[in-house]
Amino acid sequence: MNLPLIGSVHVPPVPAGAPSATLLAADNPDELKPVIDLLTQTRKSLTLRSLLITGFPHDPEFFAAGIALARQWSRQGLKIAVVDMDYRHPTLLRPRPLPNEGLVDALEYGCSFQRIAWELVSDALWMVGPGSHPPDEQRFLEHPDWTRVMRIFSARVDLTLCLAPFLDRKGFTGALSKRMDGVILAVCVRRSSRAALRDAFLELWGSDAPMIGCIGIDAPFDPTPPREAQLPGEATTPVAPAPAAAPAAPPPVREAAHDWSFPPPETHRADQADRRRKPTGRERAEEAQQALVDRLADEVRRGQVPRPAPPRSRTLLLVALALILAGAGAFVTVQAMRRGAARAAAPAETLPAGTEPVLPADLGTPAAGTPSPQGAETPQGETTPTPAPDASGTAPGQGSQVDLPFRVHVASFQTEGKVQDLVNRLRARGLDAWYAKAADQAHWYRVFVGHYATHEEAARQAASLLDRGLVEHAIAYPEQAR
């Protein structure tokens, strides 16, 4: 745990509802002098208006250590307010008939500083209890009036010292420390395990609150700390007291030449029996604890903590998930490549040429499917189709095909170059393609395929072109005789 030890304190515990004389007895100026000197230097570089002192509930001297720190700090000329935040098991209780109001009443009901605080030392040390009723934890942490109450404390005192031994509830102290300008951990390392100290440090470190240091509570060593589980193989029968030693007999006179460098045979056999004796459950527990301490100390010296390897089942699950994601990605890629290849292999004549709008086939003509009789008059504005010349110089549709009145319309464009390009591609596919200029629409050219005697023949040819995928648009187009 990379947290400096800034001092230690030895004070007797303070019971709940203790009078002022008991609170004033919690004092140890000599031990707390280096702590006060360090905090005084800290206030020069860090805005320290509120300080949280937290620890474990199984340390009864915790609250007395906070009172002793506040008393010693008040001797430096500062005004200190000690706030008891342990609303489950409060220590600061006002004697009757005074109202037992505190921090919770200031948050919930807007009580003033004069209402919730009382003087322990005249104009130097103030006491504030937790309140008249226990609040909800989440509401207590996220109360909207925290800033207002802390501003009231800052207007009356130089420093607010909050005592909250809440580290037995995971996450509460870390969230509470975000409200403070600094945090100090006060614990007795003889009562707390190394793992508990590490978890407390990580919880406070994860809240991004400035960690100032640790104050050690000096307490006598207790070989059976609280909440210690009894090992299965440990004997539970009480050990009988040893009998009183008999008066020692005078040592016998021995010869001067006797060698005393080796122990007597009885002592040697007893030592061998002790070495052959199996260790008890408590001894095995102490050896395991010492091994854990040595390992953690080695990790601190190296500056890193090895992360435990993930379970094998979890590793297999992650590998299977990665393989599934890789297979899905490969399938999507293959499908995209196939769609791209299909689009690339589509015949160019089935795609629109350019970005010009396409003129409808029946614009300026009778409705499709209504064949016009032979010899009918040509509508006004329609000119004779102008077939495109082929390579030999002759235009398709000349000769006997001129008398066939129906053809298949496939496209219309405003650029003659695009029309000629589409006609050439359709001819390359073996179709009788040609084009003519539309007289009823300026700057438009229509592309046709074939000449047919009846409307039904042209319609069948149009359906055949669409089924074969040669064009995207095909409709039987009636041709009026001029």
Provide the CATH number for the domain around residue 130: 3.40.50.300
HEC assignment per residue over the chain:
CCCCEEEEECCCCCCCCCCHHHHHHCCCHHHHHHHHHHHHHHHHHCCCCEEEEECCCCCCCHHHHHHHHHHHHHCCCCCEEEEECCCCCCCCCCCCCCCCCEHHHHHHHCCCHHHHEEEEECCCEEEEECCCCCCCHHHHHCCCCHHHHHHHHHHHCCEEEEECCCCCCCCHHHHHHCCCCEEEEEECCCCCCHHHHHHHHHHHHHCCCCEEEEEEECCCCCCCCCCCCCCCCCCCCCCCCCCCCCCCCCCCCCCCCCCCCCCCHHHHHHHHHHHHCCCCHHHHHHHHHHHHHHHHHHHHHHCCCCCCCCCHHHHHHHHHHHHHHHHHHHHHHHHHHHHHHHHHHCCHHHCCCCCCCCCCCCCCCCCCCCCCCCCCCCCCCCCCCCCCCCCCCCCCCCHHHHHCCEEEEEEEECCHHHHHHHHHHHHHCCCCEEEEECCCCCCCEEEEEEEECCHHHHHHHHHHHHHCCCCCCCEEEECCCC
Give backbone dihedrals phi and psi of 37, rounded to 5 degrees, phi first. Answer: -60, -45
In-domain check, residue 99: yes
pLDDT tens for the 482 residues of the chain, in order: 577 888 889 889 999 888 888 888 888 888 888 898 888 888 888 888 999 999 888 888 989 999 999 999 999 889 999 999 888 889 998 877 888 899 999 999 999 999 999 898 888 999 999 988 878 888 888 899 999 999 999 999 999 999 988 776 778 888 888 889 899 999 998 888 888 888 888 888 777 778 888 899 987 655 444 444 343 444 444 444 444 444 444 444 444 444 434 445 444 455 555 555 666 777 887 888 788 777 777 666 665 555 555 556 678 888 888 999 998 888 988 888 888 776 655 444 434 444 344 444 444 443 334 343 333 333 333 333 444 444 333 344 444 455 688 899 999 998 889 999 999 999 998 899 999 988 778 888 999 999 998 999 999 999 998 988 888 888 998 754 33
pTM here?
0.47
> Side-chain half-sphere of 304: how many Cα atoms within 13 Å?
3
258-272 pLDDT per residue, tens: 443 444 544 445 555
What pLDDT is attached to residue 259?
42
Task: Name residue, tokens 């990790």.
Answer: 299
Q: Which long-range contacts (CB under 8 A, 24 or more apart) does 175-178 make?
A: 175/141, 175/207, 176/52, 176/85, 176/141, 177/52, 177/54, 177/204, 177/207, 177/209, 178/207, 178/208, 178/209
Cα–Cα nearest to 406, from 359, 446, 456, 442: 456
User: Distance between CA 213 and CA 54 in Å, rounded?
Assistant: 11
pLDDT score, position 421: 92
What is the Cα–Cα distance from 107 to 387, expressed in whole angstroms?
94
Looking up residue 402, the CATH number of its domain turns out to be: 3.30.70.1070
**Residue with tokens 């009823």, as numbered in its chain:** 440
Looking at the domain assignment, is residue 362 inside a domain? yes
Distances (CA, A) of 418 to 355, 412, 450: 11, 10, 19
- Cα–Cα distance, 33 to 15 (Å, whole number): 25
Nearest to 112 by CA among 96, 125, 99: 99
Tell me phi and psi for residue 236, to 5 degrees: -105, -5
Same domain, 213 and 354: no
- pLDDT at residue 128 in the model: 94
Structural domain includes residue 225 = no
Tally of domains in the chain: 2
Phi, psi of 292 (to 5 degrees): -65, -40
Predicted local confidence at residue 358, as pLDDT: 47
286 lies in some domain: no
Q: Whole-angstrom Cα distance, residue 126 to residue 98?
A: 16
Residue 289 lies in a domain: no
Q: Which of 165, 185, 217 is the last residue of a domain?
A: 217
d(CA 178, CA 174): 7
Give the pLDDT score at 95.
76
Beta bridge partners of 474: none
Q: Are residues 54 and 195 in the same domain?
A: yes
In a domain, 336, yes or no: no
Q: Which of 191, 217, 243 is the last residue of a domain?
A: 217
Residue 39, domain extent: 5-217
State how far Cα 197 lies from the chain centre: 25
Last residue of a domain, one of 190, 217, 244: 217
Q: Is residue 203 part of a domain?
A: yes
What are the beta bridge partners of residue 5? 214
Q: Cis omega before residue 97 (within 30°)?
A: yes
Give pLDDT, residue 286. 80
Structure tokens that stand for 85 in this block = 């935040």
Inside any domain, residue 247: no
